[in-house]
C-alpha cells in the first residue's frame, strides 16, 4: 500500500509536470484537489476559515488561528503548501 504522504507528493509532482497539458475539466478537478489538500493541512493545524467554501468543506469547530501566518506548521507542511501553491499557479487555478 502506498503511504499517503508519498501519494500526495507524487500527485503534486504529476500535476506540476502536466500543468501545461491540463485544460478545462481536468484542470478544474486538479485545482479542486489542490485546494482541498492545501486547506486540509491548515485545518489540521487549527486554522479558522473565513470563506464560505472553506467553512463548508472544513468547518471551524476547534479552530484557533485567524491568520494563515500564525498557523503552526512544520517545515515539511510549509514546503508542501508552497509546492501546492506553485502547482496551482502552474496549472492556472483561480486565486
Q: What is the mean pLDDT of residues 2-16?
A: 58
12 or 54, which is more confident: 54
Using one digit for the tens of pLDDT, what is the confidence trace for 21-78? Answer: 545 556 667 999 999 999 999 999 999 999 999 999 999 999 999 999 999 999 999 9
What residues form DSSP beta bridges with 82?
A: none
Strand (E) or helix (H) holding 76: helix 75-90
Residue 93 has pLDDT above 50, yes or no: yes
CA angle, 86 then 28 then 92, to 5°? 35
Strand (E) or helix (H) holding 14: helix 4-18
Question: Would you state the pLDDT for residue 92?
Answer: 92
| Crossing angle (nearest 10°) for helices 75-90 and 24-44 | 160
Amino acid at each position: 500500500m502506498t503511504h499517503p504522504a508519498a501519494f500526495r507528493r507524487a500527485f503534486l509532482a504529476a500535476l506540476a509536470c502536466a500543468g501545461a497539458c491540463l485544460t478545462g475539466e481536468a484542470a478544474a478537478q486538479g485545482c479542486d484537489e489542490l485546494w482541498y489538500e492545501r486547506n486540509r493541512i491548515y485545518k489540521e493545524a487549527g486554522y479558522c476559515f473565513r470563506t464560505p467554501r472553506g467553512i463548508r468543506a472544513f468547518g471551524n469547530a476547534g479552530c484557533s488561528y485567524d491568520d494563515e501566518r500564525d498557523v503552526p506548521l512544520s517545515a515539511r507542511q510549509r514546503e508542501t503548501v508552497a509546492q501546492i501553491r506553485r502547482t496551482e499557479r502552474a496549472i492556472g487555478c483561480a486565486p
